[in-house]
């Protein structure tokens, strides 16, 4: 039996303040696995010491009037296994109104449709707010960027981001009309 087979089906809901600790933990765990060999190792090694700070930021973010939407995925018996954040596109928006700001899913729960459903839920939330298009920024060296291509995202630009004093290239993917790709 594969590890993922020992878990129940995923359920999805908006994040709540009490999720803050688990969101911080997932965020750090996924960063440390996904970006090994991509991001500076010194920066990755510093992440576990940031758990309390990240939990505090999540708690503050989720207790305020939301600008962004945060959807979580839960799987029994594991609990929260992933999250996605979306909102108005940050500059430069390249002509797109909305943005999938982040998607983090524990590796043992990937390739089960959970990430796809989290992206769909963010896209639907953006559409409910009147935002028709969406972009996502992904480190070009991250093989997970192909996930966005499979979802219909088209490369529309390349940017440089600095992580741990190291400049890294990001590819920007976008969907011009969310209704075409993420209908209910």
Read off the pLDDT of residues 80-89 as tens digits, 9 standing for 90 and up: 999 999 999 9
Would you say residue 39 has pLDDT above 70?
no
Q: Where are the domains of the chain?
A: 3-181
Superfamily for domain range 3-181: Gcn5-related N-acetyltransferase (GNAT) (3.40.630.30)
Q: Cβ(138)–Cβ(104) under 8 Å? A: no
Give φ, ψ of 122 to 5 degrees.
-65, -45
Percentage of the chain beyond pLDDT 90 is 49
In the prediction, which pLDDT does 116 show? 94
pTM, two decimal places:
0.87
CA distances to 3, 94, 129 from 106, rounded to whole Å, are: 12, 30, 28
Residue 60, SS3 per DSSP: helix
C-alpha atoms less than 13 angstroms from C-alpha of 6 in its C-beta half-sphere: 6
Beta bridge partners of residue 39, listed in sequence order: none
101's CB contacts (< 8 A; 6+ apart) are 68, 85, 86, 87, 90
Span 121-151, pLDDT tens digits: 999 999 999 999 999 999 898 888 899 999 9
Per-residue pLDDT at 1 exceeds 50: no
Least confident of 29-33, 47-51, 67-71: 47-51
Task: Give the pair of three-digit tokens for residue 103.
Answer: 């998607």
Q: What is the pLDDT of residue 8?
A: 79
């Amino acid at each position: 039996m594969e590890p993922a087979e020992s878990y129940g089906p995923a359920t999805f809901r908006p994040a709540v303040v009490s999720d803050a600790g688990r969101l911080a933990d997932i965020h750090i765990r996924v960063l440390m696995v996904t970006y090994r060999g991509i991001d500076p190792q010194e920066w990755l090694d510093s992440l576990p010491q940031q758990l309390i700070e990240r939990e505090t930021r999540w708690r503050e973010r989720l207790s305020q009037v939301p600008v962004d939407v945060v959807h979580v995925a839960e799987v029994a018996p594991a609990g929260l296994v992933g999250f996605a954040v979306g909102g108005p596109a940050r500059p430069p928006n390249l002509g797109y109104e909305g943005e999938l700001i982040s998607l983090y899913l524990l590796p043992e729960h990937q390739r089960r449709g959970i990430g796809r459903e989290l992206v769909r839920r963010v896209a639907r939330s953006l559409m409910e707010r009147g935002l028709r298009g969406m972009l996502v920024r992904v480190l070009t060296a991250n093989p997970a960027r192909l996930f966005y291509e499979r979802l219909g995202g088209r490369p529309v630009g390349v940017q440089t981001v600095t992580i741990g004093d190291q400049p890294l290239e990001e590819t920007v993917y976008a969907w011009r009309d969310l209704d075409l790709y993420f209908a209910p």
